[in-house]
């Protein structure tokens, strides 16, 4: 039985898979079972932040696996405490951290923080959370309901938790707030919604207003965090101070980890929240290695150089293929090309794979790029040469 048949027979069908069988990777290059090379502009959907087989991350994982992989959170875990410290220090915010296993779990934790805040701080209970249309916050029953895309709210999984509403724009949030609103949950750059950044001044005004009204600002940085937009957090780039921030994806470099951090450091007490696997030795050792690698790149200015180079390549594509693309969008290494015809995006992805470059789709009409943050200029150049060959074949 070949791999495709094996997968279809034994794995639940929840993904429209491509059946290229990757066997190993180096940096931003992947290799399939036939030895064919691909440039990876997807990084496991922003997860492989330091590339494939990074020697520093590999050594950290192997060393930790040879000591302790996991114990209960009923005991103190040294790398967990050190990773929390490092995250807080790099963020510049006075916060405390809870570790989970994914972005959805991190967002669940954020919502629980908001709900308890609304229960304990006010005379009348507040529980409503406002999010935005085209947002994406996870696949659990609660986080899928928090997601502002009707297509995710299938009746197959109803009834959903109450207390969520969705606004078309930041400007609409103000009128949606009532005396039961406890929080506003936003992505500063909507990833699944089409790689769409919000206006900085608009976000800053909202943050100031919410602070005045004692309403929590929760920023979902599952995809934008850990240097993806050029700063450690997109919140740093937008120069705001959220009440709650969630992280995941690139934090572990491929090892599952999520985190929720908040300035309300005493909001939870023992028993309020927990996780069996969250923040274990292995995931936190990986997180520490990832932050060591990326913080050095940032401090040396090398990350900024790569961001500028990648952006220039995208702009070149828009200029060269005006019949295909309207504009380049996004921030840092969270980028997209807005296609004029949404129908052609799937063909672009398929043909790009044929040419040996892995890319993604976002929203209805966006070709999405989420390469590793350690990608080299040479890998970028080669990737775009292959991408343009794919585009040429479609014209």
| pLDDT one-digit tens code per residue, 314-334 | 999 999 999 999 999 999 999
Q: Which of 183, 252, 255 is nearest to 219 (CA)?
A: 183
- Confidence band, pLDDT 50/70/90 cuts, at residue 38: very high
User: Mean of the pLDDT values across residues 160-188?
Assistant: 97
- Confidence band, pLDDT 50/70/90 cuts, at residue 365: very high
Domain ranges of the chain: 57-299
- Confidence band, pLDDT 50/70/90 cuts, at residue 269: very high
Contacting residues for 241 by C-beta, under 8 A, at least 6 apart? 93, 207, 235, 263
Query: How many residues are given for the chain?
Result: 395
- Confidence band, pLDDT 50/70/90 cuts, at residue 281: very high
pLDDT(192) > 90? no
Q: Which of 139, 136, 117, 137 is nearest to 128 (CA)?
A: 117
What phi and psi values does residue 322 have, to the nearest 5 degrees? Answer: -65, -20
Fold assignment, 57-299: 3.40.640
Residue-level pLDDT at 21: 96
Residue-level pLDDT at 364: 81
Q: What is the pTM of this model?
A: 0.96
pLDDT, one tens digit per residue, over 86-131 is 999 999 999 999 999 999 999 999 999 999 999 999 999 999 999 9
User: Mean of the pLDDT values across residues 354-377?
Assistant: 96
- Residue 312 to residues 39, 46, 166, Cα–Cα distance (Å): 18, 20, 35
Residue-level pLDDT at 71: 97
Rounded to whole angstroms, the Cα distance separating 150 from 152 reads 5
pLDDT(341) > 90? no
pLDDT(337) > 90? yes
DSSP codes joined into one string, 34-93: T--EEEESSHHHHT-TT-BS-HHHHHHHHHHHTT-S---TTS--HHHHHHHHHHHHHHTS
**DSSP letter (8 states) at residue 148:** B
pLDDT(224) > 90? yes
| Residue 268 burial (CB count, 10 A) | 17
Mean pLDDT, rounded, of the chain? 97
pLDDT(174) > 90? yes
Residue-level pLDDT at 274: 96
Cα angle 138-246-274, degrees, rounded to a multiple of 5: 85
Is the previous residue joined to 151 through a cis bond, with omega within 30 degrees of 0?
no
272 strand-pairing partners:
none
Collapsing DSSP to helix, strand or coil, 203 comes out as: helix
| Residue 299 burial (CB count, 10 A) | 9
């Amino acid at each position: 039985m070949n791999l495709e048949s094996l997968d279809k027979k034994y794995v639940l069908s929840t993904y429209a898979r491509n059946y290229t069988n990757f066997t190993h990777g180096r940096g931003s290059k992947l290799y399939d079972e036939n030895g064919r090379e691909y440039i990876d502009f997807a990084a496991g959907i922003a997860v492989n932040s330091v590339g494939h087989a990074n020697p520093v991350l590999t050594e950290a994982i192997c060393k930790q696996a040879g000591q302790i992989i996991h114990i209960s959170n009923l005991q103190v875990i040294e790398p967990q405490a050190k990773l929390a410290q490092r995250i807080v220090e790099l963020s510049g915010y006075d916060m405390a951290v809870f570790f989970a296993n994914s972005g959805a779990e991190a967002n669940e934790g954020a919502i629980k923080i908001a709900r308890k805040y609304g229960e304990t701080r006010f005379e009348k209970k507040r529980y409503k959370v406002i999010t935005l249309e085209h947002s994406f916050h996870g696949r659990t029953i609660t986080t899928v309901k928090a997601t502002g895309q009707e297509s995710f709210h299938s009746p197959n999984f109803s009834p959903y938790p109450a207390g969520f509403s969705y606004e078309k724009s930041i400007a609409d949030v103000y009128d949606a707030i009532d005396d039961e609103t406890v929080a506003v949950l936003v992505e500063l750059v909507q990833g699944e919604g089409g790689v769409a950044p919000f206006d900085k001044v608009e976000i800053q005004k909202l943050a100031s207003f919410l602070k005045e009204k004692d309403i929590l600002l929760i920023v979902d940085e599952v995809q934008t965090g850990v240097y993806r937009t050029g700063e450690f957090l997109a919140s740093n780039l937008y120069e705001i101070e959220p009440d709650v921030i969630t992280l995941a994806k690139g934090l572990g470099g491929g090892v599952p980890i999520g985190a929720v951090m908040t300035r309300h450091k005493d909001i939870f007490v023992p028993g309020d929240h927990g996780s069996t696997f969250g923040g274990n030795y292995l995931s936190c050792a990986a997180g520490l290695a990832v932050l060591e690698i990326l913080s050095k790149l940032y401090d040396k200015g090398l990350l900024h150089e790569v961001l500028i180079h990648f952006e220039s390549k995208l702009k070149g594509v828009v200029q060269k293929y005006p019949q295909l693309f309207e504009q380049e969008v996004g921030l840092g290494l969270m980028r997209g090309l807005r296609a004029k015809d949404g129908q052609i995006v799937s063909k672009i992805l398929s043909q790009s794979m044929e040419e040996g470059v892995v890319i993604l789709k976002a929203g209805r009409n966006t070709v999405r790029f989420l390469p590793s943050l350690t990608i080299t200029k040479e890998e970028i150049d080669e990737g775009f040469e292959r991408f343009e060959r794919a585009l040429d074949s479609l014209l």
